[in-house]
Structure 1
Amino acid sequence: MDVNLHLAQEPAADALLSRSPLAALVGMLLDQQVPMEWAFAGPHTIAQRMGREDLDAHEIAEQDPEAFAELLARKPAVHRYPGSMAGRVQNLCRYLVEQYDGRAEAVWEDAGSGRELVKRLGELPGFGKQKAQIFLALLGKQLGVRPAGWREAAGEYGAEGSYRSAADITGPESLARVRAHKQEAKAAAKRAKGG
């Protein structure tokens, strides 16, 4: 991938996300219940702790589950829930090994349409509809992966000029705008519930 992602807001972590499709997928998987930058810095932390420059799906899939969970739990932890997330990362990597020979980019390389691609992403362990749509929007907006109908398949996350998700972060200013959007959405949901 010849891109410059800025999701971790940390040069070494962003460099890994930019060159490694697997790192980008793992970062997206970790992006829940923690700040976005923490989640997307996770792949770099995992690689460092494994003594590697890059992540390898085969290697992660074959790790002893307890040892891999310990690796994610070391301080500073990779995630607020390192044990369960270690299992999810390994499940994702096992699936990629079984279905795509360990090549994360194979998930999207030959997708014939946005609908097909969002379906493939949604089939990944740990990816539901929303995560699949956000990652599809990231692929389209920042990584140049644009099968026919990708914006429509990405739903609101595919909208041009929006600041809704990781797909829209290109630096500190856009991160602040995405964060503000999320806070407003939470407040609106709270108001709707009468809270």
Structure 2
Amino acid sequence: MPLCLSQDTDADALLDRDPFALLVGMLLDQQFPMERAFAGPALLAQRLGRTELDARELASYDPDALVEIFRGPPAVHRYPGSMAGRVQALAAAVVDQYDGDVTLIWRDVEDGRELFRRLNALPGFGTQKAQIFTALLGKQRGVTPAGWREAAGGYGQEGSYRSVADVVDAASLGRVREYKQAQKAAAKAGSKAAAPAKG
């Protein structure tokens, strides 16, 4: 099934055929609407005059020029300066550690824990992002090493609607958004309950 993460046909087509663009989209999915984050790689490729993203090109790109590309308008991300730097660091890691071939991160990986470990070691990827991308690879890209669901934590659960890993159409995007809003509301209520009483 083709990816449907940005809800834009052309942007999703890039994510579908270019695994590095998909990794960049996951990196951009932070403090920014999910669809716009995953549309970011297509916007970046368009401004670079490319049909796909190249890790080597981005790793060696002039940092100041890359920030300007991120600024737009429209901006590739809400924080164009810091995210341009993060994308460049991610590209450099893919070049240095995987010879510019992002699929080497998961191709022939021994098990889900190793896949998670490799993703978690990437610049800009913490535990949660690495778990979500592990789930996305397993649920929508056919990357299913032994123990991948466990390595993805709750995001690996079948039939859940917790993250971008579960977005396959507009309806599932709505369910994921509802879940996230409920989580935020619960966290807010919890922090208020934990606050000391005034007076």
What amino acid does structure 2 have at the position aligned with 1:43? P
Q: How many residues matched? A: 193
The reply to whether residue 183 of structure 1 matches residue 174 of structure 2 is no
Partner SS state of residue 144, structure 1 = coil
Task: Note the C-alpha offset of 1:161.
Answer: 0.2
2:129 to 131, 151, 170: 131
Task: Note the C-alpha offset of 1:193.
Answer: 1.1
Gaps of 5+ in 1: none
The reply to whether residue 154 of structure 1 matches residue 152 of structure 2 is yes
Match of 1:103 in 2: 101
With normalisation by structure 2, the TM-score equals: 0.96
The reply to whether residue 92 of structure 1 matches residue 90 of structure 2 is yes
Match of 1:75 in 2: 73
Gaps of 5+ in 2: 194-199
Match of 1:17 in 2: 15
Identity of aligned residues (%): 63
Question: Larger Cα Rg: Structure 1 or Structure 2?
Answer: 2
What is the Cα-based RMSD across aligned positions, in Å?
A: 0.7
How far apart, in 2, do the equivalents of 1:87 and 1:93 lie?
Answer: 10
Partner SS state of residue 109, structure 1 = coil
Give the ranges of 4+ consecutive aligned residues of structure 1 lying more than 4 Å apart after TM superposition.
none
* 1:132-182 deviation digits (Å, cap 9, x = unpaired): 000000000000000000000000000000000000000000000000000
* 1:53-90 deviation digits (Å, cap 9, x = unpaired): 00000001110000001001010000000010000000
Match of 2:197 in 1: none
How far apart, in 2, do the equivalents of 1:184 and 1:127 lie?
Answer: 24
What amino acid does structure 1 have at the position aligned with 2:178? A
